[in-house]
Amino acid sequence: MNVAAARMIPIEAEPLCVPHRIAVVTDAWLPQVNGVVRTLTTTCAMLEEWGHQVTVISPDQYRSVPCPTYPEIRLALAIPGAIGRRLAKLAPDAVHIATEGPLGLAARRFCVKHGVPFTTAYHTQFPEYVSRRTGIPARYFWRYIRWFHAPARRIMVATESIRGELRTQGLTRLHHWSRGVDLDCFSPDAPVPPEFADLPRPIQLYVGRVAVEKNLEAFLALDTPGTKVVVGDGPAMADLRLRFPETRFLGRRSGRELAGCYAGADVFVFPSKTDTFGLVIVEALACGTPVAAYPVAGPLDIVTAHCGALSGSLERAIAGALTCSRADCARVGAGYSWEAATDQFRAGLVASGEVLAAV
């Protein structure tokens, strides 16, 4: 279905009715560690707490192969028709297709073929992300994004910047779905890791995937005073360790240990230009740590003069962020709750149960 044909679908889709049986189809799931997985696992867990029945169709349930250049991501090898048959058997009240990978593609194919309404989400700047890894211009990958999302009744997006970008691509049935932070875990009083005790200040922290699309080299190559600390893992780790031996690489951290890394840092540096939100940004803010980033989608929608600095020069952004009040940062971070974000997700779902029951 092309974009023009998709616009014929009514924008106001039927609201989800009770009982709430929700199917989420995703190519990003545990044991992957990234913002998309944290968003989906937290949202699904909260929906279940609220009494919904959530079925997740994910790569860990099928044979899979590692994604080229990104082995931590597994590409599911489901038997043709298997996802559709599973959806037909489940007959959920709503179908949400979270990603554009093999499982998402199989679910989309089934729903379009049988006229089953569904929603999607745009979690990652997919065209720019793949362009960074392949060298192929992003415009070629936008063709796939437009085609994939065009028949969705609603496309869930986290920020106004991404909403505007999708509109320019002809995708207009957009629904706001923000992100949240666990404020019981991420707080200014999180215990600072012992590794920080003797580090020269200011401590400049990065948290996230250690991969080419995160533009981490732009941060590590800066000649700034203090100490650069990287928390996370990924395919670029070995190379960056060799090239930037003065950087402290702490590996993966989670929960209160991760929160302590944020709380103990003087500034959180977000060099990525391909994220749609940046969940780590609000985690850092909730711990009272100001943010330095480029003025791109995600940071533009979150970071204000009260809680960080944005600049085309990451060095200037770091200097500006260091002047911010940590109390102001914590107040901004506290405004992002998973309860509110999950309610936005739930409000964006569309009813599909009667159609699926008839398939």
**pLDDT for residue 16:** 54
161 confidence band (pLDDT: 50, 70, 90): very high
The conformation of residue 311, written as its DSSP 8-state character, comes to -
H or E stretch including 228? strand 227-231
Ramachandran area for residue 67 (φ above 0: left; ψ -120 to 50: alpha; else beta): beta
Query: CA–CA distance from 98 to each of 26, 105, 175, 318 (Å)?
Result: 5, 10, 14, 34
How far is residue 325's CA from residue 70's CA, in Å, rounded to a whole number?
38
> In the chain, what are the domains?
3-179+339-358 (3.40.50.2000), 194-336 (3.40.50.2000)
Exposure string of 79-106, with b = 16+ CB inside 10 Å and e = fewer, is eeebbbebbbebbbbbbbbbbbbbbbbb
* Residue 285 burial (10 A CB sphere; 0-12, 13-18, 19+): buried
Q: What's the pLDDT tens digit per position in 209-233?
A: 999 889 999 999 999 999 999 999 9
Decide if 274 contacts 124 (C-beta within 8 A). Answer: yes
Q: What would you measure as the largest C-alpha separation in the chain, in angstroms?
A: 65
Q: What's the pLDDT tens digit per position in 229-270?
A: 999 999 999 999 999 999 999 999 999 999 999 999 999 999
State the CB neighbour count (10 A cutoff) for residue 220.
Answer: 17
Q: For residues 5 and 163, which has the higher predicted lDDT (pLDDT)?
A: 163
**pLDDT for residue 342:** 95
How far is residue 281's CA from residue 345's CA, in Å, rounded to a whole number?
20
Among 64-78, 168-182, 193-207, whose mean pLDDT is lowest? 64-78
How far is residue 23's CA from residue 94's CA, in Å, rounded to a whole number?
6
How large a percentage of the chain has pLDDT more than 70?
A: 93
State the CB neighbour count (10 A cutoff) for residue 331.
Answer: 15
Tokens for 26, please give them. 């995703």
- Rounded mean pLDDT of 314-323? 98
- Is the pLDDT assigned to residue 324 strictly greater than 50? yes
145 confidence band (pLDDT: 50, 70, 90): very high
67 confidence band (pLDDT: 50, 70, 90): confident
How far is residue 139's CA from residue 99's CA, in Å, rounded to a whole number?
19
The helix/strand/coil state of 157 is: strand
**pLDDT for residue 5:** 33
Question: How high does pLDDT run on average in the chain?
Answer: 91
69 confidence band (pLDDT: 50, 70, 90): low
H or E stretch including 285? helix 279-286
**pLDDT for residue 4:** 32
Q: What's the pLDDT tens digit per position in 7-55?
A: 333 334 455 544 489 999 999 999 888 889 999 999 999 999 999 999 9
Q: What's phi and psi for 53, nearest 5 deg?
A: -100, 110
- Is the pLDDT assigned to residue 68 strictly greater than 80? no
**pLDDT for residue 70:** 66
Spatial CB neighbours of 335, under 8 Å, sequence gap ≥ 6: none
**pLDDT for residue 126:** 72
Q: What's the pLDDT tens digit per position in 292-304?
A: 999 999 999 999 9
- Is the pLDDT assigned to residue 117 strictly greater than 90? yes
